[in-house]
Structure 1
Amino acid sequence: MNFVAMDFETANSKRYSACSLALTVVRNDQIVDEFYSLIKPDTPFFWRNTQIHGIHAEDVADAPDFPTLWPHIAPLFQRDRLVIAHNATFDIGVLRSSLEHYQLTTPQYLALDTVRTSRKFYPELSNHKLDTLCQELNIELEHHHNALDDSRACANILLHEAQQFGPEQLKSFVKVIA
């Protein structure tokens, strides 16, 4: 399998308030690269978001803003590339809103949500949160809500599902994002 697992953390409830991003690149069923960056949003931080992920305004003071970061990661979002996330509606929404907010071109790419796949493959679980799945599937998740740890865990969930159920079973979950 070849894909990129994506995870954002946000400064507040505005979807374009990304304050960190991680990408985990998988080629031939192996994690081959990882990317992590703090992001300086042009919005204030809300205490509840900070409480969840631990990122403060002073942590991102010298970080790049989203328009500065985008050219470095944009090549991973192409028409034939699969991008996955756990609760992809959120992460795809953050990416889309950030691109719209900064008036950047929205790419077309393929997407898959590991929340949806886990609900299908593991209906017996009490919930399908990232930390619950990692515990049930014996996948390491060192710091939940750290974007890099979350994107790595998401990648490992999909790899586990592909190994257990076969990649063909995952194809129906892939959607085109435009």
Structure 2
Amino acid sequence: MTRVVALDFETADKYADSACALGMTRMEDGKVTASWYSLIRPPRQRVYFTEIHGLTWEMLKDKPTFAELWPDIRAFLEGARLLVAHNASFDRRVLLGCCRAFGLEAPCLPFACTVKGSRRGLRLPHHRLNDVCAYLGLELDHHNAASDALAAAKIYLHLRSLGMTDEEMMLNG
């Protein structure tokens, strides 16, 4: 059985440890099999990106921290051979930043990037998540981490169905 997990973070500020929402979608043998979502209490009270994701300190202040959610996150990632994200360098930076901030051992998994894959496999003027979803006819509640993770999973599966390999989407560095 091949397990891949798509994930998407929303952040409160410009720092890598400021996750305020995480959505994950598990795929097994080419099918979506499970989803996970949580709001996260960021480490600082100022939420700078409310106009993007709609989240405020009032909505987040009583939510669990990343460290408190880590056992559930790690369990959801169990057995995955690959992580997938749209603009994976951002999500990798946040995952590693949050793990580092709380002294947690980050998963040692490669990342595939569906932006990189869409640039290689789809002829579009823009490769933002909402543009790729519109082109593929996928529903999207943009900047909702659960919706964005599911969209990244469906884009990944579509690109694989076109014959694209994981290696062609792999995030380097």
TM-score, scaled relative to structure 1:
0.89
Where 1:20 maps in the other structure, the secondary structure is: strand
Return the alpha-carbon distance in structure 2 between the equivalents of residues 107 and 63 of structure 1.
23
**1:8-157 paired onto structure 2 within 5 Å:** 8-47=9-48, 49-77=49-77, 81-122=81-122, 124-141=123-140, 143-157=141-155
Where 2:98 maps in the other structure, the secondary structure is: helix
Give structure 1 regions of 4+ aligned residues with deviation exceeding 4 angstroms: 76-80
Task: Verify the 8 A CA contact 2:117 2:168 in the aligned structure 1.
Answer: no
Count of residues in correspondence between the two structures = 172
Where 1:32 maps in the other structure, the secondary structure is: strand
Q: Match for residue 168 of structure 2?
A: 172
Q: Match for residue 161 of structure 1?
A: 159
RMSD of aligned residue pairs (Cα, Å): 1.9
Distance change in 2, residues 1:67/1:73 (3 Å): same
Alpha-carbon displacement from aligned partner over 1:36-68 (angstroms, at most 9, x marks no partner): 000001112334x01100001111122110111
Where 2:110 maps in the other structure, the secondary structure is: strand
Task: Verify the 8 A CA contact 2:11 2:21 in the aligned structure 1.
Answer: yes
Q: Percent identity?
A: 37
Where 1:109 maps in the other structure, the secondary structure is: coil
Distance change in 2, residues 1:153/1:40 (3 Å): same
Letter in 1 for 2:131: T
Return the alpha-carbon distance in structure 2 between the equivalents of residues 37 and 45 of structure 1.
19
Q: Match for residue 7 of structure 1?
A: 8
Alpha-carbon displacement from aligned partner over 1:90-110 (angstroms, at most 9, x marks no partner): 000000001111111122112
Any unmatched runs of 5+ in structure 1?
Answer: none
Alpha-carbon displacement from aligned partner over 1:117-175 (angstroms, at most 9, x marks no partner): 011112x311100000000111121x100000000000000111111x225x3333335
Any unmatched runs of 5+ in structure 2?
Answer: none
Return the alpha-carbon distance in structure 1 between the equivalents of residues 3 and 97 of structure 2.
26
TM-score, scaled relative to structure 2:
0.91
